[in-house]
Structure 1
Amino acid sequence: MAIIPQLKLFKWTEIQTPGDLERLSLVLEYMPVEELMKALGREERLREELPMKKIAIIVHASEAELGRALHSLLYAKELHEAGHEVKVFFDGAGTVWVKKFEDPASDFNPLYKAVKNLGLIAGVCEYCAHAFGVKDEVRASGLTTIGERDGHLSVAQFIADDYQIMTL
Protein backbone atom coordinates (compact mmCIF):
# COMPACT_ATOMS: atom_id res chain seq x y z
CA MET A 1 0.00 0.00 0.00
CA ALA A 2 1.34 3.43 -0.95
CA ILE A 3 1.57 6.25 1.53
CA ILE A 4 0.84 9.58 -0.05
CA PRO A 5 2.20 12.53 1.92
CA GLN A 6 -0.13 15.49 2.23
CA LEU A 7 0.65 19.11 2.78
CA LYS A 8 -0.28 20.48 6.18
CA LEU A 9 -2.04 23.79 5.94
CA PHE A 10 -2.28 24.37 9.68
CA LYS A 11 -1.60 22.65 12.98
CA TRP A 12 -4.18 20.44 14.61
CA THR A 13 -4.41 22.78 17.60
CA GLU A 14 -5.30 25.63 15.26
CA ILE A 15 -8.46 23.85 14.12
CA GLN A 16 -9.36 21.89 17.27
CA THR A 17 -9.89 24.82 19.62
CA PRO A 18 -11.75 27.46 17.54
CA GLY A 19 -15.45 27.36 16.74
CA ASP A 20 -16.95 26.50 13.35
CA LEU A 21 -16.84 30.03 11.95
CA GLU A 22 -13.25 30.51 13.00
CA ARG A 23 -12.27 27.18 11.38
CA LEU A 24 -14.05 28.14 8.17
CA SER A 25 -12.30 31.49 8.18
CA LEU A 26 -8.97 29.69 8.69
CA VAL A 27 -9.62 27.36 5.73
CA LEU A 28 -10.61 30.25 3.48
CA GLU A 29 -7.53 32.20 4.56
CA TYR A 30 -5.19 29.36 3.56
CA MET A 31 -7.05 28.33 0.41
CA PRO A 32 -5.23 29.48 -2.77
CA VAL A 33 -8.38 30.92 -4.39
CA GLU A 34 -6.61 33.09 -6.98
CA GLU A 35 -4.44 30.22 -8.19
CA LEU A 36 -7.45 27.93 -8.28
CA MET A 37 -9.50 30.40 -10.31
CA LYS A 38 -6.62 30.96 -12.74
CA ALA A 39 -6.26 27.21 -13.23
CA LEU A 40 -10.00 26.83 -13.83
CA GLY A 41 -9.91 29.69 -16.32
CA ARG A 42 -7.04 28.05 -18.22
CA GLU A 43 -8.93 24.76 -18.32
CA GLU A 44 -12.06 26.47 -19.65
CA ARG A 45 -10.07 28.27 -22.37
CA LEU A 46 -8.43 24.99 -23.35
CA ARG A 47 -11.83 23.33 -23.61
CA GLU A 48 -13.08 26.15 -25.84
CA GLU A 49 -9.97 25.97 -28.03
CA LEU A 50 -10.16 22.22 -28.62
CA PRO A 51 -10.75 21.37 -32.26
CA MET A 52 -13.94 19.67 -33.30
CA LYS A 53 -13.91 15.90 -33.35
CA LYS A 54 -14.23 13.84 -36.49
CA ILE A 55 -16.54 10.87 -36.06
CA ALA A 56 -17.32 8.10 -38.55
CA ILE A 57 -20.50 6.23 -37.62
CA ILE A 58 -20.62 2.83 -39.27
CA VAL A 59 -24.08 1.27 -39.34
CA HIS A 60 -23.88 -2.54 -39.16
CA ALA A 61 -27.30 -3.07 -37.58
CA SER A 62 -29.29 -5.95 -39.02
CA GLU A 63 -32.96 -5.66 -39.95
CA ALA A 64 -33.87 -6.83 -36.45
CA GLU A 65 -31.90 -3.97 -34.84
CA LEU A 66 -33.98 -0.89 -35.57
CA GLY A 67 -32.80 0.81 -32.36
CA ARG A 68 -29.16 0.69 -33.40
CA ALA A 69 -29.87 1.91 -36.94
CA LEU A 70 -32.11 4.69 -35.66
CA HIS A 71 -29.59 5.81 -33.06
CA SER A 72 -26.89 6.10 -35.71
CA LEU A 73 -29.00 8.86 -37.26
CA LEU A 74 -29.85 10.46 -33.92
CA TYR A 75 -26.19 10.49 -32.83
CA ALA A 76 -25.05 11.86 -36.19
CA LYS A 77 -27.51 14.74 -35.97
CA GLU A 78 -26.65 15.49 -32.34
CA LEU A 79 -22.89 15.44 -32.97
CA HIS A 80 -23.31 17.64 -36.05
CA GLU A 81 -25.38 20.14 -34.06
CA ALA A 82 -22.63 20.18 -31.40
CA GLY A 83 -20.16 21.27 -34.08
CA HIS A 84 -18.40 18.00 -34.84
CA GLU A 85 -17.60 16.62 -38.27
CA VAL A 86 -19.71 13.49 -38.74
CA LYS A 87 -19.94 10.93 -41.51
CA VAL A 88 -22.39 8.04 -41.53
CA PHE A 89 -21.61 4.88 -43.50
CA PHE A 90 -23.94 1.94 -44.07
CA ASP A 91 -21.96 -1.29 -44.11
CA GLY A 92 -22.61 -5.02 -43.88
CA ALA A 93 -26.19 -5.88 -42.92
CA GLY A 94 -26.65 -2.17 -42.20
CA THR A 95 -26.95 -1.47 -45.93
CA VAL A 96 -30.58 -2.69 -45.80
CA TRP A 97 -31.47 0.40 -43.76
CA VAL A 98 -31.00 2.62 -46.78
CA LYS A 99 -33.95 0.86 -48.44
CA LYS A 100 -36.03 0.98 -45.24
CA PHE A 101 -35.28 4.61 -44.36
CA GLU A 102 -35.77 5.82 -47.95
CA ASP A 103 -39.34 4.48 -47.86
CA PRO A 104 -41.63 7.51 -47.39
CA ALA A 105 -44.03 5.29 -45.41
CA SER A 106 -41.33 4.67 -42.78
CA ASP A 107 -41.89 6.47 -39.47
CA PHE A 108 -38.17 7.25 -39.52
CA ASN A 109 -37.98 8.66 -43.05
CA PRO A 110 -38.16 12.30 -41.84
CA LEU A 111 -35.15 11.85 -39.53
CA TYR A 112 -33.25 9.97 -42.24
CA LYS A 113 -34.02 12.70 -44.80
CA ALA A 114 -32.92 15.40 -42.34
CA VAL A 115 -29.58 13.65 -41.75
CA LYS A 116 -29.19 13.00 -45.48
CA ASN A 117 -30.00 16.65 -46.34
CA LEU A 118 -27.35 17.80 -43.85
CA GLY A 119 -24.85 15.82 -45.94
CA LEU A 120 -23.96 13.53 -43.06
CA ILE A 121 -24.48 10.25 -44.93
CA ALA A 122 -21.14 9.75 -46.63
CA GLY A 123 -21.75 6.43 -48.30
CA VAL A 124 -22.71 2.79 -48.49
CA CYS A 125 -20.44 -0.22 -48.83
CA GLU A 126 -20.61 -1.23 -52.48
CA TYR A 127 -19.93 -4.92 -51.91
CA CYS A 128 -22.35 -5.24 -49.01
CA ALA A 129 -25.18 -3.41 -50.80
CA HIS A 130 -24.89 -6.04 -53.54
CA ALA A 131 -24.52 -8.94 -51.07
CA PHE A 132 -27.60 -7.88 -49.07
CA GLY A 133 -29.70 -7.30 -52.17
CA VAL A 134 -30.16 -3.53 -51.92
CA LYS A 135 -27.79 -2.35 -54.67
CA ASP A 136 -30.61 -0.91 -56.82
CA GLU A 137 -32.25 0.87 -53.88
CA VAL A 138 -28.91 2.36 -52.83
CA ARG A 139 -28.29 3.57 -56.37
CA ALA A 140 -31.81 5.07 -56.49
CA SER A 141 -31.19 6.85 -53.17
CA GLY A 142 -28.40 8.88 -54.73
CA LEU A 143 -25.98 7.90 -51.98
CA THR A 144 -22.37 7.24 -52.88
CA THR A 145 -21.20 3.65 -52.92
CA ILE A 146 -17.75 3.08 -51.53
CA GLY A 147 -15.48 0.18 -52.34
CA GLU A 148 -11.92 1.33 -51.79
CA ARG A 149 -10.81 -1.91 -50.12
CA ASP A 150 -11.85 -4.88 -52.26
CA GLY A 151 -15.34 -3.42 -52.56
CA HIS A 152 -15.57 -2.47 -48.87
CA LEU A 153 -14.98 0.62 -46.73
CA SER A 154 -11.42 1.27 -45.59
CA VAL A 155 -11.39 1.57 -41.81
CA ALA A 156 -7.63 2.21 -41.95
CA GLN A 157 -8.34 5.30 -44.05
CA PHE A 158 -10.77 6.61 -41.41
CA ILE A 159 -8.03 6.27 -38.80
CA ALA A 160 -5.47 7.88 -41.11
CA ASP A 161 -7.90 10.80 -41.56
CA ASP A 162 -8.19 11.18 -37.74
CA TYR A 163 -11.74 9.88 -37.42
CA GLN A 164 -13.01 8.28 -34.26
CA ILE A 165 -15.09 5.26 -35.23
CA MET A 166 -18.48 4.48 -33.75
CA THR A 167 -20.07 1.21 -34.85
CA LEU A 168 -23.77 0.53 -34.38
Structure 2
Amino acid sequence: MTAQPTAFALFAYRQEPGCFIHVLLNGLDLDDKGHPVKIILEGPATTLLSDIDSQEAPLPALFKKASERNLIDGYCLACATKLGARDDAETSGLAPLSDMSGHPSVASYIQKGYTVINF
Protein backbone atom coordinates (compact mmCIF):
# COMPACT_ATOMS: atom_id res chain seq x y z
CA MET A 1 0.00 0.00 0.00
CA THR A 2 1.39 3.38 -1.04
CA ALA A 3 1.07 6.31 1.37
CA GLN A 4 -0.79 9.39 0.18
CA PRO A 5 1.48 12.37 -0.48
CA THR A 6 1.31 15.16 2.06
CA ALA A 7 -0.84 18.12 1.02
CA PHE A 8 0.48 21.62 1.74
CA ALA A 9 -1.23 25.00 2.12
CA LEU A 10 1.35 27.75 1.67
CA PHE A 11 0.21 31.05 3.21
CA ALA A 12 2.10 34.02 1.74
CA TYR A 13 1.97 37.04 4.07
CA ARG A 14 4.87 39.26 3.06
CA GLN A 15 4.70 42.00 0.47
CA GLU A 16 8.27 41.42 -0.72
CA PRO A 17 8.41 39.99 -4.25
CA GLY A 18 11.48 37.92 -3.29
CA CYS A 19 9.54 36.15 -0.56
CA PHE A 20 6.64 35.46 -2.87
CA ILE A 21 9.03 34.04 -5.46
CA HIS A 22 10.10 31.49 -2.85
CA VAL A 23 6.49 30.59 -2.08
CA LEU A 24 5.86 30.02 -5.79
CA LEU A 25 9.07 28.04 -6.26
CA ASN A 26 8.26 25.80 -3.32
CA GLY A 27 4.67 25.33 -4.45
CA LEU A 28 5.77 24.37 -7.95
CA ASP A 29 8.46 22.04 -6.59
CA LEU A 30 6.01 20.29 -4.25
CA ASP A 31 3.54 19.94 -7.12
CA ASP A 32 6.29 18.49 -9.35
CA LYS A 33 6.94 15.90 -6.66
CA GLY A 34 3.27 14.87 -6.48
CA HIS A 35 2.09 16.80 -3.43
CA PRO A 36 -1.26 18.59 -3.50
CA VAL A 37 -0.57 22.32 -3.01
CA LYS A 38 -2.64 25.42 -2.39
CA ILE A 39 -1.10 28.91 -2.23
CA ILE A 40 -3.02 31.56 -0.33
CA LEU A 41 -2.20 35.30 -0.41
CA GLU A 42 -2.80 36.90 3.00
CA GLY A 43 -2.08 40.24 4.60
CA PRO A 44 0.29 42.56 2.73
CA ALA A 45 0.98 39.87 0.10
CA THR A 46 -2.44 40.66 -1.41
CA THR A 47 -1.00 43.97 -2.65
CA LEU A 48 1.39 42.07 -4.93
CA LEU A 49 -1.57 41.32 -7.20
CA SER A 50 -1.74 44.97 -8.27
CA ASP A 51 1.39 44.86 -10.39
CA ILE A 52 2.40 41.23 -10.70
CA ASP A 53 3.08 41.54 -14.45
CA SER A 54 5.37 44.54 -13.97
CA GLN A 55 7.56 42.82 -11.37
CA GLU A 56 11.08 41.76 -12.24
CA ALA A 57 11.70 38.25 -13.52
CA PRO A 58 11.12 35.55 -12.52
CA LEU A 59 8.00 36.58 -10.52
CA PRO A 60 5.53 37.05 -13.41
CA ALA A 61 6.48 33.77 -15.08
CA LEU A 62 6.34 31.79 -11.82
CA PHE A 63 2.98 33.33 -10.92
CA LYS A 64 1.61 32.41 -14.35
CA LYS A 65 2.92 28.86 -14.09
CA ALA A 66 1.44 28.37 -10.60
CA SER A 67 -1.86 29.88 -11.75
CA GLU A 68 -2.01 27.60 -14.80
CA ARG A 69 -1.53 24.60 -12.51
CA ASN A 70 -4.35 25.88 -10.25
CA LEU A 71 -2.00 26.04 -7.27
CA ILE A 72 -3.12 29.51 -6.16
CA ASP A 73 -6.28 29.02 -4.12
CA GLY A 74 -7.05 32.71 -3.68
CA TYR A 75 -6.52 35.85 -1.66
CA CYS A 76 -7.70 37.20 1.68
CA LEU A 77 -10.76 39.33 0.97
CA ALA A 78 -10.51 41.34 4.20
CA CYS A 79 -6.82 42.17 3.75
CA ALA A 80 -7.15 43.04 0.06
CA THR A 81 -10.03 45.34 0.95
CA LYS A 82 -8.25 46.97 3.91
CA LEU A 83 -5.01 47.47 1.95
CA GLY A 84 -6.68 48.92 -1.15
CA ALA A 85 -5.86 45.94 -3.35
CA ARG A 86 -9.37 44.51 -3.78
CA ASP A 87 -9.96 45.81 -7.33
CA ASP A 88 -6.63 44.40 -8.54
CA ALA A 89 -7.25 41.15 -6.68
CA GLU A 90 -10.64 40.80 -8.36
CA THR A 91 -9.07 41.56 -11.75
CA SER A 92 -6.52 38.77 -11.17
CA GLY A 93 -9.27 36.19 -11.44
CA LEU A 94 -8.28 34.57 -8.16
CA ALA A 95 -10.95 33.57 -5.65
CA PRO A 96 -11.63 35.79 -2.64
CA LEU A 97 -11.25 33.75 0.55
CA SER A 98 -13.28 34.86 3.54
CA ASP A 99 -14.54 31.88 5.54
CA MET A 100 -13.13 33.18 8.87
CA SER A 101 -14.49 36.66 9.55
CA GLY A 102 -13.41 37.82 6.10
CA HIS A 103 -10.07 35.99 6.14
CA PRO A 104 -9.08 32.51 4.90
CA SER A 105 -9.28 29.96 7.69
CA VAL A 106 -6.15 27.99 8.47
CA ALA A 107 -8.36 25.48 10.29
CA SER A 108 -10.34 24.77 7.12
CA TYR A 109 -7.16 23.76 5.30
CA ILE A 110 -6.08 21.57 8.21
CA GLN A 111 -9.51 19.92 8.25
CA LYS A 112 -9.04 19.13 4.55
CA GLY A 113 -5.73 17.40 5.33
CA TYR A 114 -3.29 20.17 4.44
CA THR A 115 -0.13 20.91 6.38
CA VAL A 116 0.03 24.69 6.72
CA ILE A 117 3.27 26.58 6.13
CA ASN A 118 3.43 30.35 6.65
CA PHE A 119 5.85 32.44 4.61
TM-score (ref. length: structure 1): 0.67
CA distance in 2 between counterparts of 1:104 and 1:117 reads: 18
- Is 1:125 aligned to 2:76, yes or no? yes
Change over 3 Å in CA distance of 1:141–1:54 after alignment to 2: same
Select which of 75, 88, 92 maps to 1:137.
88
CA contact (8 A) 1:100 1:106 kept: no
CA contact (8 A) 1:57 1:88 kept: yes
- The alignment-based identity, stated in percent, is 29
- Is 1:100 aligned to 2:51, yes or no? yes
Corresponding residue number in structure 2 for 1:162: 113
Aligned to 1:50, the other structure's residue is in SS state: coil
- Is 1:59 aligned to 2:12, yes or no? yes
Unaligned runs of 5+ in 2: none
TM-score (ref. length: structure 2): 0.92
Change over 3 Å in CA distance of 1:105–1:156 after alignment to 2: closer
RMSD of Structure 2 on Structure 1 (CA): 1.4
Task: State the Cα distance separating 1:134 from its structure 2 match.
Answer: 0.7
Larger Rg: 1
**Relative contact order (C-alpha < 8 Å, sep 6+): which is higher?**
2
User: Which contiguous aligned blocks of 4+ residues in structure 1 show a shift greater than 4 angstroms?
Assistant: none
Query: When the two structures are aligned, how many residues end up with a matched partner?
Result: 118
**Structure with more of its chain in helix, by fraction:** 1
Task: State the Cα distance separating 1:161 from its structure 2 match.
Answer: 1.0
